Amino acid sequence: MRTYTSQSAILSDIQSGQLKLRDLVQHYLRQIEGNKHLNAFLETFSEEALARAAEVEQRIQSGKAGKLAGMVISLKDNICYKGHKVSASSKILAGFESLYSATVVERILEEDAIIIGRTNCDEFAMGASTENSAFGPVLNYADTTRVPGGSSGGCAVSVQADMCLASLGSDTGGSIRQPAAFCGLYGLKPTYGRISRWGLIAYASSFDQIGPVTKSVEDMALLLEVMAGADGHDATASSKPAEAYSKLLNSDKKYKIAYIKDCLDSEGIDAEVKAQTLVTIEQLKAAGHEVVSVEFPYLDYMVPTYYVLTTAEASSNLARFSGLHYGYRSANATDMESSFRKSRSEGFGPEVKRRIMLGTLVLSAEHYDAYYTKGLKVRRVIRNATDALLKDNDFLLLPTTPTPAFKLGEKAANPVSMYLADIFTVQANISGNPAVTIPVGKHSNGMPYGLQLMGRHFEEASLLAFAKQVMNEQATAT
């Protein structure tokens, strides 16, 4: 079976009779089975996916298929799919089955996507390496001694190792973009409010967004187009109409692009990642774009602001997992109070507990003003500064991550070094802007890495079109 990198290639092979959709699903299932050691999937929905393949194939042949026909997709284990298990890779949701489907799931199914299974992630999406899952770490397919990134590590590896064509993940501080970059893929964190969060297990509600991980800009645009738009179930989902993003990808417009020099000079940035970013900047200039270096004096505040605010929101969001209503309940409890305490102590992993405690401190009466209120103010300052920057410039360009994928265990013992893995991705979640990662390079150690592009609120159409231009320009230059 050839390796498909876009839905359009699959669709045209089905239409011309060269490919049966069932065979493709079977191929993906074999890939999943043969690469079990990567630990990317927690569960496959094999029978269902195969049955659906036959139905969708018929609709394709009769010309009645939806926009996503031929696309086989995995779901991060924090997106609800009615009648299927969902656990946020936590022991505390053991045995829990979704009572309804996320809006994104309903929308992709309506357009004939096939969901092949649910993928492993950091527990409650808290992490940058997928080592915090209650079900063991996910391994990077390009080098199994390295992490795939996180928290959507299973999503990224499922696409990287050809176990499906695309995946839906969630991004609160980089969880789509960072693993996509570590696995040589495309990833999009849409504008906050562009996609409904209904049916996404919340980590930090004012930061979380669902988005795609794919092998092409085209598929990223197509999935956004299908998922975006207002939703009566989520008041934070914008009523701004979604655009036909996949039809708006071809542009030869010349843009003004900014990069933050301090990012490239920051401590800990890999020399090759920096050099490649500078090469891309030169390629863009040669192609007629204007690229300027700008000051952005808030870099040191990004990660602290992110952790103050997200842990506060997490401590509130995760209060509902008490052992009473859902999933795991301790067998050692003797009364209600000890049932809460023991179910939570036994059900949550160490990183989740650390964040609940931190968030509880941030929101406590004595510290609320010093941390939470202050954090909100800094968030506003960062958002205003980002908006100002994107008023004068069309896009902000920066590496997705300071380094390619690190070794398993390398940062696990030091939470702060793990938190700093997100230094370039958290800005888009603090400010709400859309951001993509595109696979621009391969390190001499064999690992891929990405370039990040950030755009104005709700201007995904031009952001994706520009991402395509950058990839085309790179292809012509090399």
Q: What residue number has its CB nearest to ligand GLN?
A: 175
- Both tokens of 181, joined, read 């970059």
- Asked if 85 is an active-site residue, the reply is no
From 104-112, 167-175, 215-223, 454-462, span contacting ligand GLN (CB under 6 A): 167-175
Residue 435 dihedral angles phi and psi, to the nearest 5°: -150, 140
- Asked if 158 is an active-site residue, the reply is no
* Element (DSSP H or E) covering residue 466: helix 460-477
What contacts 187, CB < 8 A, 6 or more positions away? Answer: 156, 169, 171, 176, 177, 179, 180, 181, 211, 212, 213, 214, 220, 436, 437, 450
Is residue 203 part of the contact set for ligand GLN (CB under 6 A)?
yes
Contact with ligand GLN (CB under 6 A) among 117, 173, 187, 455: 173
- Both tokens of 235, joined, read 């008041």
Q: Which of 175, 196, 216, 238 is catalytic?
A: 175
CB of 178 to ligand GLN, least distance (A): 7
CB of 149 to ligand GLN, least distance (A): 9
Choice between 7 and 437, CB closer to ligand GLN: 437
| Residues within window 135-154 making contact with ligand GLN, judged by CB under 6 A | 151
- Residue that has been written with the tokens 């842990």 in this structure: 311
Is residue 430 part of the contact set for ligand GLN (CB under 6 A)?
no
Contact with ligand GLN (CB under 6 A) among 66, 153, 174, 179: 174
What contacts 224, CB < 8 A, 6 or more positions away? Answer: 188, 190, 194, 195, 211, 212, 242, 245, 460, 464
Choice between 122 and 218, CB closer to ligand GLN: 122
Q: Which of 74, 87, 90, 151 is catalytic?
A: 151
CB of 47 to ligand GLN, least distance (A): 31
Choice between 171 and 460, CB closer to ligand GLN: 171
What contacts 100, CB < 8 A, 6 or more positions away? Answer: 80, 82, 199
Strands, E, within 172-317: which ranges?
186-189, 209-214, 256-260, 290-294
Distances (CA, A) of 9 to 69, 165, 215, 227: 11, 11, 12, 21
Is residue 128 part of the contact set for ligand GLN (CB under 6 A)?
yes
Is residue 400 part of the contact set for ligand GLN (CB under 6 A)?
no
Residue 434 dihedral angles phi and psi, to the nearest 5°: -75, 145
- Asked if 468 is an active-site residue, the reply is no
CB of 394 to ligand GLN, least distance (A): 25
Site string for ligand GLN, 300-329 (x = CB under 6 A): ----------x-------------------
Is residue 422 part of the contact set for ligand GLN (CB under 6 A)?
yes
- Please give the Cα distance from 175 to 380 (Å, whole number): 22
Site string for ligand GLN, 48-87 (x = CB under 6 A): ----------------------------------------
Sign of CA dihedral 171, 199, 76, 413: positive
Number of residues that bind ligand GLN (CB under 6 A): 13
In angstroms, how far is the first alpha carbon of the chain from the final one?
28
Look at residues 9, 371, 413, 461 and name the one whose alpha carbon lies nearest to residue 191: 461
Active site residues: 76, 151, 175
Residues that bind ligand GLN (CB under 6 A): 125-128, 151, 171-175, 203, 310, 422
